[in-house]
Structure 1
Amino acid sequence: MITICFSKISGIRNLHIGIFFCFAMGLLSCTKEIGGDMTYPEKANEPQITQYTPISGGSSTEISLYGSNFGTDLAKIKVTINEKEASVLSSNGRVITARIPQNAGSGKVKLAINGVAYTYKQNFEYGYQTVVYTYLGSTKDNVDGDYVQAKLSGPRYLKWSKDNMLYFVEEGASSRDNFAALRVAANNQVSTLLNASENPLFERLRAFDFSIDQNTLYLSNDNNANGSMGFGKMIKSSGKYSNLTALSATAGLTAVTTNPVTDEVFVGIYSGGKICRLKSDGTLEQLFAVNSKNVNIMDIIFSPDGQTMFISGAYNAHSVYRVPYDLAAKRFGAVHVLAGPNANTTGNAIGNGESARFNTPAQMDLDQDGNLYVADRKNHCVRKITTNGTVTTYAGIAGTSGLQNGNALTAKFYEPEGLQFGPDGALYVADTWNHVIRKIVIE
């Protein structure tokens, strides 16, 4: 009897032990991912992920990853978006903050702690946006150096050469106490190519352009601000432009461009809105005036096929014009208003054609689709004009000055006057009174 009772008790005990053992083994065999992003640790101190926010965004978006046991040593934490590493900004052990990298694309969000990876079930949706950065410069001065240390006085006009060097004109004025120069940026170094204090030919360079072969650099000088040259050139030798030579003493030349097909050189005269061609004997041949309103020319450029000239006019017009050019006959057609009131009326209204408003439109450039971009100087922004004349604000807040990077429509400029697309497809802007050059990219 005693033996039988012991056997029963032993059986019950063994059954209980067996049930407990199976339950324990079941727990140990659980996977790390349970329903959505929720994970349970194998050990009490292992990381656990729950969710992250936001689940969509663009470059520089800050993302928060929630959970526990993350630790606070950032060197042991790695976050990737679509296999591209994000910058880890902070961790308090329960929340990790990271910044989405440029051009990350959409994909999995992964978190690694001490080399152990955890993958969130929810994919991150990457959205492209237009973003403004500071490319070079800092505070006002005229100091050469690398892109961080260099200081600019007031960049007004800029252009890229075919060998990927960025040339730009500094402000200048009616006194040699103001720094007036032609400078160049390349390989993370800014250097001064021409300085008005060392050359009696110019005091207020306004614009420049290259010949098709890039061996000649043409420059216009507003010699109403002094300096004996109105228009001149430099020749490239050993990879550097030198020996500035005067070609004309005509006053008030504020714009210059070369036709990309014929290599003809044209200049714009500020007062009277006159367009002239440089003749082989060095004289200027007047071709036409933009209109009868004494428009003040700020910039002239050609379309890549050489068959259209675009003209930006400031005072007395505040408009952008389009003029056809016959390459065979070498003759311009009638002037058409592309956008703006064609009158001495300022504003910042977006719209089509003559309903749009500018305030001192300056340097222009075209994108690959034929859209025109204009530095709208006193509106503190960059405008975009489509081929049919529709004007929108591309970057900056029209009518509001400041210095702020970030999303293009919340970024701020201070009287930007120059712009051109670079070899990388980004739009570079001479932000005159912020004393810097900005870069606008889609990423």
Structure 2
Amino acid sequence: MKSSFKLFCTIAAISIFECITACNKEIKENKPELTSVVPSSARGGDTITAFGKNLFTDISKVKVTINKKEARIITATPDSIQAVVPENAGSGRVSVSIGDETYEGPEFEYEYKVIVTTVAGTGTAGNKGGSAATATFNCPWGIVSDRNNNLFIADVYSRLIRKISLADSTVINYEIGNLDFASPYNIAIDHNTGNLFVTDFNKHVMKMDQSANMSVIYTAEMPLAGIAVSPNGSSLFIGNNTLGTITKTDINGMNPVLYTDNIITPRNIFYDHTGKMWVACYRFLYDITNSGTATPAYAYGDFGGWEAIPDTAGNFYLADHFKNCIHKIDKAGNITKIAGSGMAADIDGIGLEASFNGPQGITIDADGNLYVTTFNYDTNEGNKVRKIEFK
């Protein structure tokens, strides 16, 4: 009896092995192949069809990915698979996996839906705090995002630092008081401590700690514009708009040394996700090496603004103040207008159907959302904080 059972188990094991071997042989001899994707670009939620040959029809055994993100399969035939593009998939290859084998297909371009909304501000000039929907600003410029879902804004004509809590949509005012400091202009945050550092387009740099204590920590020749904190939180980098220089100090504003020069209007200094420094200014985006060598990396052409910010994919976003729109520079250096019709008005909407009234400062949060401050110097309108989402 035991011998019969052992014989049965042996035969069963051999049969399973032969079946697996035969399936693998069939897959190898009839290797699945993806040849094209139609359409080759689409948005999240759209349906695409991947064409090829020797594709499996049992969708329970097949997985399709776009840029390594799994897509929901609708139907499958031996020569095509229909699937839904996942939200925020991004651009990349379409692949099909059968068992442990993955077969690479063609490149797919993800078309982001650019959604523009208003975070805070009625448009009326003022300094009212409280609810973001009824709050007022007066020439908001520099803007940064912290790691606690807050935005901090240098409100120039109100001479205030403004905090927007995105969690509860409220605005808090921090008064600068009697410090020897003009109006706040640009702003940087030390993500290691939460401390803010602010220039005044005059001679000063102010520090505001997490308890809202403020002090002037650096004074130099005017006008001081761009400012950044090194990723390790040990140094400040301060741009002089007229001299075209960037000065390095320690985090307390002491021991200043010239870091780099010959930069046209260094109004916006920032780091990308790799720790590389960049400087945005009128007409150019500068690449700054660790030794302080400045090289124009991108020429904007007729771009009319001073502020830019990178994402983690290697793209840059530019706030075009005079054309009332937002541009994107992709990794290949292509410049595309992604939001704003060009009309001087803060109107919510999708992509080029939306509009901005003098976009000035720009920042990005951990989720990849952009935030833009607006002010129109001809009409004293704008005075809003806008949000740009990509879906």
**TM-score bracket for the superposition, by shorter chain length:** 0.5 to 0.7
Contact 1:260–1:305 under 8 Å retained in 2? no
1:323 corresponds to which of 261, 283, 288 = 288
Give the equivalent residue in structure 1 for 2:182. 203
Q: In the alignment, is residue 370 of structure 1 matched against residue 314 of structure 2?
A: yes
**Any stretches of 5+ residues in structure 2 without a counterpart?**
1-41, 46-86, 88-110, 377-381
Q: In the alignment, is residue 272 of structure 1 matched against residue 243 of structure 2?
A: yes
Contact 1:261–1:305 under 8 Å retained in 2? no
Shift of 1:339: 2.2
Give the equivalent residue in structure 1 for 2:80. none
Contact 1:157–1:169 under 8 Å retained in 2? yes
CA distance in 2, matches of 1:191, 1:164: 14
CA distance in 1, matches of 2:115, 2:339: 9
Give the equivalent residue in structure 2 for 1:226. none
**Any stretches of 5+ residues in structure 1 without a counterpart?**
1-55, 60-102, 104-126, 173-178, 224-228, 326-330, 341-355
Question: Structure 1 runs of 4+ off > 4 angstroms?
Answer: 56-59
**Which structure ranks higher in relative contact order (CA pairs < 8 Å, sequence separation ≥ 6)?**
2
1:301 corresponds to which of 251, 261, 270 = 270
Give the equivalent residue in structure 1 for 2:302. 357
Contact 1:139–1:151 under 8 Å retained in 2? yes
Instruction: State the SS of the aligned residue for 2:322.
Output: helix
Task: Assess, with a 3 A threshold, how the Cα gap between structure 1 residues 235 and 405 changes in structure 2: closer, same or farther.
Answer: closer
Instruction: State the SS of the aligned residue for 1:241.
Output: coil
Question: Amino acid of the residue matched to residue 298 of structure 2?
Answer: L
Pairing 1:21-420 to 2, within 5 Å after superposition: 129-140=113-124, 141-172=126-157, 179-186=158-165, 187-195=168-176, 198-223=177-202, 230-236=204-210, 240-261=211-232, 263-279=234-250, 282-291=254-263, 295-306=264-275, 308-314=276-282, 318-325=283-290, 331-340=291-300, 356-359=301-304, 361-398=305-342, 400-420=343-363
Contact 1:161–1:214 under 8 Å retained in 2? no
Percent identity between the aligned chains?
22
Task: Assess, with a 3 A threshold, how the Cα gap between structure 1 residues 285 and 137 changes in structure 2: closer, same or farther.
Answer: same
Contact 2:206–2:214 under 8 Å retained in 1? no
CA distance in 2, matches of 1:282, 1:214: 18
Cα deviation digits, residues 368-422 of structure 1 (max 9, x gap): 2010111111121111112332211121134x32222111112111110111122
Question: Amino acid of the residue matched to residue 199 of structure 2?
Answer: S
CA distance in 2, matches of 1:211, 1:131: 29
**Greater Rg, structure 1 or structure 2?**
1
CA distance in 1, matches of 2:206, 2:260: 22
Instruction: State the SS of the aligned residue for 1:435.
Output: strand
Question: Amino acid of the residue matched to residue 413 of structure 1?
Answer: F
Cα deviation digits, residues 325-352 of structure 1 (max 9, x gap): 2xxxxx2234133123xxxxxxxxxxxx
Cα deviation digits, residues 248-305 of structure 1 (max 9, x gap): 24321101101214632101111021111014771421122134xxx22220111222
CA distance in 1, matches of 2:229, 2:253: 17
Question: Amino acid of the residue matched to residue 331 of structure 2?
Answer: T
Give the equivalent residue in structure 2 for 1:29. none
Contact 2:181–2:206 under 8 Å retained in 1? no
Cα deviation digits, residues 198-234 of structure 1 (max 9, x gap): 33422221112122412432211222xxxxx511212
